[in-house]
Amino acid sequence: MYSNSPALEMKDVSLSFGKLQAVNNVSLTVSDRDIVAIIGPNGAGKTSLLNCITGFYKPQLGTIMFGGTNITSWKPDRIARIGIGRTFQKIELFGGLTTLDNIMAGRHILMKPDPFAGAFYFGRTRNEEIKHRRAVEEIIDFLEIEFIRERVVESLAAGLKKRVELARALALEPKLLILDEPMAGMNMEEKEDMARFILDIREERKIPIILVEHDMEVVMDISDRVFVLDFGIKITEGSPEEIKDNSDVIRVYLGE
């Protein structure tokens, strides 16, 4: 396990929708190069917590610090610009575009528009295009999706769409990567591939990862720390070994 300076710190975060308390006084720290899994039954508040981090929801209480900056009230585009990338529980791709075009779309925040040069496609604009295309091709090689680079995304199987969505998130060059159920809809071989890619992202690209996943075998195999939610409340957190035999965790998943 790697434990350097904190990349993300959430302190006493609460989020409610009317009388529904989605997140209740939750604190969480993600250190550099950690893989932190958030688990819990359906309705536990996992995605709501992710949406607080990425600015889709604004918590009523608490603070969220990223790289020492308070981002609690920031909007999603501003949060993406400082380096928080994510994938979604339901695939959010441009179905009518190719794999390559979808990944290029993930670079848009990093692109520097120049209307005059862009009109004639020369000099700085051309160099900018080459730079971004090179970065995208590296991601395509990294995730081993060369064979679908020109395929229209809506024609792909669910497992490959998940890989394209991961590629688009990496195209942002994130400093923190958030993965919401990246294994959903995958067969065993596809899950093994995705787990390998997640570990490679941490090892080779040195990006800390927050992972929401229902496959407990995957969670226990690749996580450094596991964070357990139930009805928006943190039940416990610890290493996979500590979580596996925790009586509170067993109660949450299996009942009394």
The pLDDT tens digits for 8-60 are: 999 999 999 999 999 999 999 999 889 999 999 888 999 999 999 999 999 99
| pLDDT level of residue 116 (50, 70, 90 thresholds) | very low
| pLDDT level of residue 1 (50, 70, 90 thresholds) | very low
- Domains, in order of start, for the chain: 1-83+174-256 (3.40.50.300), 94-173 (no CATH)
Residue 4: is its pLDDT beyond 80? no
Q: To the nearest whole number, what is the mean pLDDT of the chain?
A: 88
Cα separations in angstroms, 87 against 21, 81, 228? 24, 15, 20
Q: Which residue has the higher pLDDT, 253 or 205?
A: 205
Please give the pLDDT value at position 65: 96
The pLDDT tens digits for 70-110 are: 999 999 999 999 999 999 888 888 889 999 999 998 887 77
- Cα separation of 194 and 186, whole Å? 9
Please give the pLDDT value at position 114: 54
**Residue 33, number of CB atoms within 10 A of its CB:** 18
Supply 131's token pair. Answer: 């730079």
Side-by-side strand order, sheet with 69-70: 20-31, 6-17, 61-66, 69-70
| pLDDT level of residue 133 (50, 70, 90 thresholds) | confident
Across 217-230, average pLDDT: 94
Please give the pLDDT value at position 112: 62
pTM: 0.86
Percent of the chain with pLDDT over 70: 90
**Residue 253, number of CB atoms within 10 A of its CB:** 13
- Cα separation of 193 and 144, whole Å? 10
List Cβ neighbours of 5 (8 Å cut-off, separation of 6 or more): 31, 32
Cα separations in angstroms, 127 against 100, 119, 123, 131? 18, 14, 6, 6
- Cα separation of 241 and 59, whole Å? 31
